[in-house]
Amino acid sequence: MDTHKQIRSLCLVLGDQLNHDSTLWHDFDPRQDLIALFEVKEESTHPLSSKQRTALFFSSMRHFAEELREKQLPVFYSTIAEQHRSISDALTALIRQQRPEKLRLVLPGDTRVLTDLQTLCKTHDLDLELLADHHFISRPGEFSRWLKKMKQPRMEYWYREMRKTRQILLDEHSKPLGGKWNYDQDNRQTFSHNGPDITALKPLFTPDAITQAAIRDINNHLPQLPGKLDQFSWPVCREQALLALDQFIEQRLPLFGQYQDAMWIDEPFLYHSWLSSSLNLKLLNPMEVIGKAVQALEQGNAPLNSVEGFIRQIIGWREYVRGLYWTHHTDWEQMNWLQHSNRLPNFYWTADTQMKCLQQSISQVLDAGYGHHIQRLMITGLFALLSKVDPQQVHRWYLAMYVDAVAWVEIPNTLGMSQFADGGIVASKPYIASGNYISRMSNYCSRCPYNPKQATGDQACPFTTLYWGFIADNQSWLSQNPRLAMQTKHWENKEAKEKKAILTRRDEVIHSLQIEAE
């Protein structure tokens, strides 16, 4: 392309828009349009992004750019070595060189990015064409219309609506297969004392030359980022993502449902799919993933409880939180319904803690950028909630540290479901539990110096102590919640001496955490 000739459309591809079926390509003309991808410093530092997360984005973007070039499409790619501060800075330089008639892109999944691009185009008097994101199952406007007609817009009702309208896991009478919409009660089993039946299969992707170059660039230009790059094995292109999907369906989906909430020492992946990063970067389409799971059920290779539980995460939670993100996008980052203000403990960045469950869950995040949903909700998230950490600090940590974290999915999950900072928009209750839950669902406690059954004393599990402290502080409104009222009764029935000892121990735990966080 003649770099001195004005182009029609500068087509921006963001790092989580790596799909070849994007609406961006519907009217693309290689003779007069130019594709642009940028690696910029601020997207790894403000907001913060770990080395694992950044490596996944950089490598996946570089692989995607190569795939576009193989199609003989014109691509402008700027690596982190060029040291552009922000997307706006990188775009400004290219706009001045190419003089496009308009900037064209699919709607970003982060309102921060959208606002920056709108400001940029206004500054340069450049038309901005925003295209619908057809990667998702729900159509534009569908969620907002559903929301308006619902008195209680909970995920379960949205999930059933999606199942009905898409004819997924229904019988010939349009009733749910097996007679139930939800098999969650069958999906809470724990391992025996022998642990998982198989040693968890590790991801099989060895970094190729493109990934290795991305890792070197991160170590050279972004060495201060948190986390490690000693190992990296995430799918970074569509071909690898499809292999990862097939491996999950064949090897782990059959037992996924049964053990999806279970945890085990030194086994971070277990029967989980490891597909969320590929879905969120759009290397995989959600309907093709659902189709593979349904096929496994129809062929007798996976049970209904596993397939339903897996599909619920995609067609239910994933689509639901995206709808809520865009519904409340102007409010999320000011939410703090519980008025928590404590600092995030330093061990979230180091895993240097005696609490085995937190040490395990955080170590694997530092090493691989990964944690499954129970580790996020009921270990790292629960501890932050019970210890009254500012939910915005928790949100920034989650967005930074997990490879699959992008704003539209991470913000509602963290501020809503995990920290209850939204006061009940996402979930009908805060997800709280004592150390006894962790003991029941894992073998972490067997190798921990703390006793999950104790709330007082030097051996008291901090989760258990903080749990009762949370109940005490919030009993007035928790007692009105039908799902948590019994816990407040248990607190009320404790003797005054025990209550005082628990609250004294709670204050000591939180004080020590805040000293450590200074």
Does the structure show a pLDDT above 90 at 1?
Answer: no
Strands (E), 398-464: none
Picking from 257, 252, 194, 187, the residue whose alpha carbon sits closest to that of residue 443 is: 194
Q: Which residues pair with 33 in a beta bridge?
A: 9
Residue 511 CA to residue 505 CA, distance in Å, equals: 10
Could you give the percent of the chain with pLDDT greater than 70? 98
- Of the candidates 202, 450, 505, 159, which has an alpha carbon nearest to the alpha carbon of residue 308? 159
Residue 152, pLDDT score: 87
Which tens digit of pLDDT belongs to each residue from 47-73? Answer: 999 999 999 999 999 999 999 999 999
pLDDT tens digits along 16-35? 999 999 999 999 999 999 99
Tell me: pLDDT of 2 over 60.
Answer: no
Residue 275 has pLDDT above 80, yes or no: yes
Looking at the predicted structure, is the pLDDT value of residue 203 above 90?
A: no
Q: What is the pLDDT of residue 129?
A: 98
The amino acid occupying position 212 is Q
Q: What is the mean pLDDT of residues 98-111?
A: 97
- Tell me the angle at which helices 209-221 and 51-70 cross, rounded to the nearest 10 degrees: 130
Least confident of 194-208, 293-307, 382-396: 194-208
167-180 per-residue burial string, b: 16 or more CB within 10 A, e: under 16:
ebbeeeeeebbeee
517 pLDDT band, cuts 50/70/90, is: confident
113-123 burial: b if 16+ Cβ within 10 Å, else e: bbebbeebbee
Tell me the average pLDDT across 94-112. 97
Q: Residue 283: is its pLDDT beyond 50?
A: yes
Indicate if the pLDDT at residue 487 is higher than 70.
yes
| Beta partners for residue 37, in sequence order | 77
pLDDT at 5: 65
> Structure tokens of 70?
């193989």
Mean local confidence (pLDDT), 96-113 = 97
| Alpha carbon distance 307, 265 (integer Å) | 26
Per-residue confidence (pLDDT) for residue 4, from 0 to 100: 53
pLDDT in tens, 240-249: 999 999 999 9
- Residue 209 burial (C-beta neighbours within 10 Å; 0-12, 13-18, 19+): exposed
pLDDT at 200: 52
DSSP 318: I
Least confident of 108-122, 155-169, 186-200: 186-200
pLDDT, mean of residues 467-479: 97
Which are the contacts of 344, defined by CB distance < 8 A and separation ≥ 6? 384, 389, 390, 393, 394, 397, 517
DSSP label at 76? E
Give the pLDDT confidence score for residue 199 in this predicted structure. 59
pLDDT for 202 equals 64
The distance between the two most distant Cα atoms of the chain, rounded to a whole number of Å, is: 81
pLDDT tens digits, residue range 343-384?
Answer: 999 999 999 999 999 999 999 999 999 999 999 999 999 999
What pLDDT shows up at residue 201?
A: 64
pLDDT (tens digit per residue) in 288-342? 999 999 999 999 999 999 999 999 999 999 999 999 999 999 999 899 999 999 9
Mean pLDDT, to the nearest integer, of 155-163? 97
Are the C-beta atoms of residues 381 and 414 closer than 8 Å to each other? yes
Q: What are phi and psi of 104, to 5 degrees?
A: -125, 130
